């Protein structure tokens, strides 16, 4: 709804801005939704993301290598080392969970026999 002259108050500048916003918001929202749903938008954002990742990839690799070498020189574990350790811990957790399941199974069978 556009602001009418009757509502106009020259001593309330924020009210004027609000009127302008309310009058245009839904039209802008619809226009933007239509825009981001075009193939042109999908293609351009996909291409930009791909270009950024492809171009920054080699620099990131160099940084990672430098960091790994520095940490190795200082006898400190790298992120990859910690990740590998965490993966092993998860595998151990899974084994423990399997054992827990088997123990539950065994205990319930023993319980059943006891009741018989």
Partner 1 sequence: MSDATSTTESTPRIPSFVDICAGWHRASENLDKFQKLLTSDAKVAQTPKELIWTLNKTKLYRYVPVVPEQERKTTPLLMVFAIMNRPHVLDLRPGHSYVEYMLRHGYDLYLLDWGAPGPEDKNLTFDDYTLEYLPRVVRKMKKVAGVEQFSMLGWCLGALISTMYAARRPDEGLKNMVLLTAPLDFADKTAGGFTRWTSNPAFNADTIVANLGNVPGEMIDSGAKMLKPIENYFGSYTMLWDNIENPGTTDAWHAMNTWVRDIIPMAGGAYQQLINDFYKENRLMEGTLKLRGESVELKNLRANVMNVIAEADHITPPCQSERVMDLISSQDKEIFRVRGGHIGIMAGRGAERNTWPHIESWLAARSD
List residues near partner 1 by CB under 8 A: 6, 8-12, 18, 21, 25, 28-29, 32-33, 36-37, 39, 41-47, 49-50, 53-54, 56-57, 60, 79, 82-84, 86-87, 90, 93-94, 97, 101, 104
15/7 Cα distance (integer angstroms) = 9
Nearer to partner 1, 39 or 112 (CB): 39
Q: How far is the CB of 78 from partner 1 (least distance, A)?
A: 11
Minimum gap (Å) between residue 74 Cβ and partner 1: 20
Task: Give me 26's structure tokens.
Answer: 């839904």
Question: Is-contact 23 1, C-beta < 8 A?
Answer: yes
């Amino acid at each position: 709804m556009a602001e009418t002259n009757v509502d106009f108050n020259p001593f309330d500048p924020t009210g004027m801005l609000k009127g302008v916003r309310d009058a245009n918001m839904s039209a802008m929202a619809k226009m933007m939704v239509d825009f981001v749903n075009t193939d042109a938008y999908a293609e351009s954002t996909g291409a930009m993301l791909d270009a950024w990742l492809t171009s920054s990839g080699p620099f990131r690799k160099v940084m990672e290598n430098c960091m790994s070498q520095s940490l190795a020189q200082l006898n400190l574990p790298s992120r990859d080392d910690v990740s590998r350790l965490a993966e092993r811990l998860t595998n151990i957790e899974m084994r423990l969970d399997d054992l827990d399941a088997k123990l539950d199974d065994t205990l319930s069978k023993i319980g059943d026999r006891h009741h018989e």
